[in-house]
Amino acid sequence: MFGKRLKMAAKKAKRKKDKLIESLIAVVGEDAIYYEHEDLLAYECDGYVIHKGLPRAVVFPSTTEEVSQIVKILHAQKIPFIPRGAGTGLSGGATPMGGEVIISLVRMKQLLEVDFENRRAVVQPGFVNLKLTNAIAEKGYYYVPDPSSQRTCTIGGNVGENAGGAHCLKYGVTTNHVLGLEVVLPDGEIVNIGGIPDMPGYDLLGLLTGSEGTLGIVTKITVKILKQPEAQETVCALFDRVEDASHTVSDIISAGIIPAALEMMDKIAIEGVEKGNYPVGYPKDLAAVLLIEVDGIKEGIPEQIEKIIQICQNRNVREVRVASSEAERQAWWNNRKQAFGAMGTISPDYLVQDGVIPRSKLPEVLEKVAQISSKYGLRIANVFHAGDGNLHPLILFDSRVPGDTEKAVAAGSEILKVCADVGGSITGEHGVGIEKKEEMRFIFNDEEIALQVSIRDVFNPENLCNPDKLFPTASRCAEVKAVKRASG
Amino acid sequence: MKPTSMEQIKQGILQILGSRLPEGEVIHCAGNHDENLLGNSGRLVVYPRDENQIGAILRFANEHSLTVIPEGGGTKRGLGGTLEQADILLSMQKIKGVVEHSVGDLIMTVKAGTTLQEIQSVLAKNGQFLPLDPPFPERSTIGGIVASNASGPKRLRYGSCRDLVVGLRVVTADGTIIRTGAKVVKNVAGYDMTKLFVGSMGTLGIITELHLKLKPLPPRRSLMLLTSPGGTEEIWDFSRRIMDSGMEPLALEVLNPGMAERLAGVSRYLLAVGFEDVPKAVDAQEEWVRQNLGQLRKTDMLHDEEAEAWWNRFAAVGTAPFALKVGSLATDVIPVMEAAEQAANNLGLSIICHGGTGLGISRIYVEDHDMRKFQSFYQTMQTFMAEREGYVIIESAPYTVRRGVSVWGDKPSYLRLLEGIKQKFDPRRVLNPGRFVGGI
Ligand SMILES: Cc1cc2nc3c(=O)[nH]c(=O)nc-3n(C[C@H](O)[C@H](O)[C@H](O)COP(=O)(O)OP(=O)(O)OC[C@H]3O[C@@H](n4cnc5c(N)ncnc54)[C@H](O)[C@@H]3O)c2cc1C
């Protein structure tokens, strides 16, 4: 015992002498850094738990200036680093490959400014998504992007992933709501981008949003805030056949209605959410549920609701109902928004996928997902933003069973191939991260990937900022690039 | 190596394109009045028919270090650039047509040389439209609109090009064809490369095909023209109140007296308020306006085709070769317009201008053709904006003026990033050299 403790003390002392740690402490102070092994374990991965890696340290800067100083130190010593928000990402974007310094933005969590007249708010990156809407709700305003993780995820992380949410169908995703960014570039320089619409120059705001922390560290964000719609109504429709629910989705869009949200859950998903923390009493034998929300001018809503109900009935709905109160509406949404977590009640593990398809291909693709499910012998729950064709197949597996994890990963990849083949994408909101690097090849050829890598090089030439994420393993692309440059 | 004579360039291009390109497709540029004034023309005009031909032309240009200006409808000749003539003007006018309209997906794929008007007429058959309202829809091509990030007042409700373009096909300067995005409305795979091309003024590549988000045609359109007997204060006050209400205005555009005179026959500051929605929602919003007019007076109210006709006249107003665009906070839009009016008065210039009080974008057209005075006017507006958040750019001016000033305003502090991006796409500066910010 005694000997072990001594050894630990010695290790601590040795650690303290690590020059890098010392220099980081000099910037942020003793209480804003982790470098002991046991402290680092919590940072081995984000919400994508299949891949793990140990960071060298985790630092918690409180100001942009501190972020810049940290980055300058790391840049000078060629030590890789990763910006991290709440770590709820689902593709491994904030997961170390091994040995990076994590720069956690959670202490930079202030709401800096709200300007109602210009309908914008300025936040620090660690500010939690839902807190913004809560802070401005009193005056009838809200921040649109509402990922299901909005109680914990940060707006910095939302910018990193270009996060979406249930209410992004009508109003757009994060990129449509970011007006300006302060960014610490991978060499430590602080730059301010945007702020006013159409700022002259290439659209760096658009490029940085969704770049998964590979182009720099966002330290301040100016976002649009919107006035709450005057009225909203939510319809819940229960179906006996998935095809009927899928066709209802396309019929609604084709009828010229753009709902604020249009969400779907299938049988297995319903089984999960009903066992979760917010059950609403969906019948056990249902095949699918649609949540359809319409918002806008009060007088315009009833006829849209009538039309939607009519469409559901034409598609053999079992039961269709308008929320009778705000409480009922909230209950439906809480039930839906906890869907991922609720899978834990019906399966030891689950893998969230995130494909996108043209909405008209929904019936065809769901059929293929079912085939993949039986091929691998894994249950797949489907929860998705049906209105914008963004599927979240939840692949249920048991990591204790040898080979099950690999099967889940393979099934997920196969689903993404199906999405790519119908003209869709491999990710609608969760990002590529570590998880989908190889799947990038489903939708981009080598030249297209090489061009993206070359854009990364403009910002992050030494690949120090969140290295080796997003793009398939370099070799082939690098070769193509070299050949291209040589001949061109 | 640069072939010196135009004849050599022409022969070179004909040779690459071989029999696929009839002689008549390459036209010597005689240079008409507009071209002489605005520049951005070409010693040779080429009309490729597909993206492979564009690729071949760009490869040739790249090899021989020629300069190429891609052009759609030519409505933005006055925007940026110091060249009177490039070696080649690459016209997109023969690359047109709707490739696919997926009605149930509210998505279309269209070739870049298609005019906005052509697009709208195809979509209307299926009750949909592309919610963009830039100037000159009958001449502007969708490629040009997106490359120059053109927009109009309705972006308040519908967003601008960056919100509507979901994917592209592009030929880069070395002739490579690349794709960005996909035919879906949500997509975060890799970098959002699409955004780089929006507003890039053809300096990174030539857009040949676009995937666009559509909207259902609104069953009812309405436009209310409100004037203020008092002054601009009431217009701002009304704008603020409507933005703070649950109403959903399509546009909130202030017109200066000069422009109001032309479009509404009243020589006062005027606010154009539009609504597009189902009839009951439009009626309710019109009623809200009537209840909340305050000191404002309703001078006209138009519906459906009439409202559209008014917006079309609005879109055709900016014919002056001298124009500025100002980006500011919404709260600064009316101050910008008043400062412009003041500056114009001091210089003895007459202007028409409009600005979106919900948007923060204003446009000023100087009607006199006096280069010196225009430059002073630009400087005055720059000084005015220097104390505020935002920018002033010259959206149109003769190329001789553009040579003498920085039309894009001050260089951004992060210019090296913009230059770095250009360098990756077009290291030999073939495409539109000097057309963009910081001389890119
Ligand atoms: C239960 C659950 C439900 C979810 N639902 C949704 C949903 O509906 N929609 C959706 O889009 N996502 C959803 N997600 C995924 C995740 O919450 C989002 O991707 C979110 O945006 C991540 O935010 P974060 O603060 O946790 O970022 P992190 O996971 O910490 O980081 C995400 C990425 O952004 C980078 N990053 C973080 N901060 C910064 C910064 N300041 N500057 C630059 N880069 C940075 C990181 O390096 C990483 O690549 C869900 C996740 C969970 C666990």
Q: Domain map of chain A by residue range?
A: 20-104, 111-227, 230-346
Any domain includes B45: yes
Q: What count of other Cβ atoms lies within 10 Å of the Cβ of residue A487?
A: 7
Residue B414 lies in a domain: no
Pick from B186, B327, B414: which is nearest to A191 by CB?
Answer: B414
What CATH number has the domain bearing residue B65?
3.30.43.10
Residue B372 clears pLDDT 50, i.e. is over it: yes
B287 within a domain of the structure (yes/no): yes
Same structural domain, B138 and B203: yes
Euclidean distance between CA atoms B22 and B26, whole angstroms: 8
- Is B185 an interface residue toward A (CB < 8 Å)? yes
Of B91, B118, B147, the domain-final residue: B91
Tokens of residue B181, six digits: 């995005």
Query: Is the pLDDT at B21 greater than 60, yes or no?
Result: no
Percent of chain A with pLDDT over 70: 93
**pLDDT at res. B4:** 63
- B179-188, pLDDT tens digit by residue? 999 999 999 9
pTM above 0.90, yes or no: yes
CATH of the domain at B300: 3.30.70.2190
CATH of the domain at B133: 3.30.465.10
Range of the domain at B262: 220-314
For position B16, what pLDDT does the model report? 75
Query: Among residues B200, B177, B180, which one has the least CA distance to residue B190?
Result: B180
Best residue among A59, A66, A84 to mutate for probing ligand 1's pocket (most ligand atoms within 8 Å of CB) is: A84
Handedness of CA A483, A485, B3, B9 (dihedral sign): positive
Closest residue CA from atom 27 of ligand 1: A157
Residue B428 lies in a domain: no
- CATH no., domain A20-104: 3.30.43.10
CA quadruple B149, A389, A245, A279: dihedral sign: negative
How far A314 CA lies from chain B's nearest CA (Å)? 17
> Which of B33, B62, B91 is the endpoint of a domain?
B91
| Ligand 1 geometric centre to CA of A368 (Å) | 28
- Do B236 and B145 fall into the same domain? no
Give the mean pLDDT of chain A: 93
**Whether residue A197 has pLDDT greater than 80:** yes
| pLDDT at residue B27, as a whole number | 59
- Do B61 and B126 have their domain in common? no
C-alpha span between A166 and A274 (Å, rounded): 19
Taking only the tens place, the pLDDT of each residue in B96-147 is 999 999 998 999 999 999 999 999 999 999 999 999 999 999 999 999 999 9
Q: Where are the extended beta strands (E) located within A141-244?
A: 141-142, 178-184, 190-194, 217-224, 226-227, 231-239
Atom of ligand 1 nearest to the CA of A90: 15
For residue range A125-134, list pLDDT tens digits in order.
Answer: 999 999 999 9
Q: Does A173 touch chain B if contact means CB atoms closer than 8 Å?
A: yes
**Ligand 1 binding site (Cβ under 6 Å of any ligand atom):** A 46-47, 82-90, 93-94, 105, 125, 147-149, 153-154, 156-158, 160-161, 163-165, 212-213, 217-218, 340-341, 429-430, 466
Q: Do B159 and A210 count as a contact with CB atoms less than 8 A apart?
A: no
State residue A480's pLDDT score: 47
- What pLDDT is recorded for position B35? 63
Q: What is the CATH number of the domain that holds B329?
A: 3.30.70.600
Q: How far is the CA of A98 from the centre of ligand 1 (A)?
A: 20
Distance B160 CA to ligand 1 centre (A): 26
Average pLDDT over residues B411-430: 97
In this structure, the residue with its CA closest to atom 28 of ligand 1 is A87
CA of residue A232 to ligand 1 center, whole Å = 28
B308 and B335 part of one domain: no
Between B36 and A267, residue with greater pLDDT:
A267
Q: Which among A193, A224, A197 is positioned nearest to B359, based on CA atoms?
A: A197
Number of domains making up chain B: 4
Looking at residue A95, its pLDDT comes to 98
A113 touches chain B (CB under 8 A): no
**A4's tokens:** 């072990």
B264-296 confidence digits (pLDDT tens): 999 999 999 999 999 999 999 999 999 999 999
Tens-digit pLDDT profile for residues A329-381? 999 999 999 999 899 999 999 999 999 999 889 999 999 999 999 999 999 99
| Residue B212 and residue B104 share a domain | yes
Q: What is the pLDDT of residues A138-162, one digit of tens each?
A: 999 999 999 999 999 999 999 999 9
**Does residue A357 sit at the B interface (CB-CB below 8 Å)?**
yes
Pocket perturbation via mutation, ligand 1, pick of A149, A168, A177 by most ligand atoms within 8 A of CB: A149
Cβ-defined contact of A297 to B182 (cutoff 8 Å): no
In a domain, B439, yes or no: no
Rounded average pLDDT over A39-62: 96
What is the pLDDT, as a whole number, of residue A6? 47
Q: Residue B13: what pLDDT? A: 86
Mean pLDDT (chain B, rounded): 94
- Mapped onto helix, strand or coil, the DSSP state of residue B93 is coil
pLDDT digits (tens, 9 = 90+) for A219-267: 999 999 999 999 999 999 999 999 999 999 989 998 999 999 999 999 9
Closest-approach residue (CA) in chain A for B332: A118
The answer, yes or no, to whether residue B333 has pLDDT greater than 50, is yes
Name the region of B259 (left: φ>0; alpha: ψ -120 to 50; beta: rest).
alpha
B28 in Cβ contact with B48 (< 8 Å):
no
| DSSP assignment letter at A134 | H
Q: Which CATH number fits domain A111-227: 3.30.465.10, 3.60.21.10, 3.40.50.1370, 3.30.429.10?
A: 3.30.465.10
Does one domain contain both B396 and B287? no
Instruction: Measure in Å the smallest separation between the Cα of B30 and chain A Cα atoms.
Output: 32
Question: Is residue B103 domain-shared with residue B208, that is, in the same domain?
Answer: yes
The proportion of chain B whose per-residue pLDDT surpasses 90, expressed as a percent, equals 90
Atom of ligand 1 nearest to the CA of A146: 8
Pairwise CB contact (< 8 Å): A257 & B216: yes
For A230-346, CATH number?
3.30.70.2190
Number of neighbouring beta carbons within 10 Å of residue A20: 15
Classify A225 as helix, strand or coil: coil
Nearest residue, CB atoms, A432 vs list B105, B189, B245 = B189
CA of A430 to the centre of ligand 1 (A): 7
DSSP letter assigned to residue B387: T
Distance of CA B256 to the CA centre of its chain: 21
pLDDT band at A483 (very low <50, low <70, confident <90, very high): very low
Query: Domain end: B289, B314, B339, which one?
Result: B314
Give me the residue label for tokens 């023309």.
B41
In this model, does residue A14 exceed pLDDT 70?
no
CB A261 within 8 A of CB A292: yes
Q: Are residues B11 and B86 in the same domain?
A: yes
Q: What pLDDT does residue A475 have? A: 53
Residue B24 predicted with pLDDT over 70: no
A195 pLDDT above the threshold of 70: yes
Give the integer Cα–Cα distance in Å for B268 and B265: 9
Pairwise CB contact (< 8 Å): A164 & B414 = no
**Chain A residues touching B149 at Cβ < 8 A:** 198
Residue B412 near chain A (CB below 8 Å): yes
| A–B CB contacts, 8 A cutoff, strictly below | 241
Tokens 């009519």: give the residue. A310
Q: Is the distance from CB of B196 to CB of A203 less than 8 angstroms?
A: yes
Inter-chain residue contact B103 with A448, CB threshold 8 Å: no
- Please check whether residue B406 touches A, CB under 8 A: no
Relative to the CA of A433, which ligand 1 atom is closest?
49
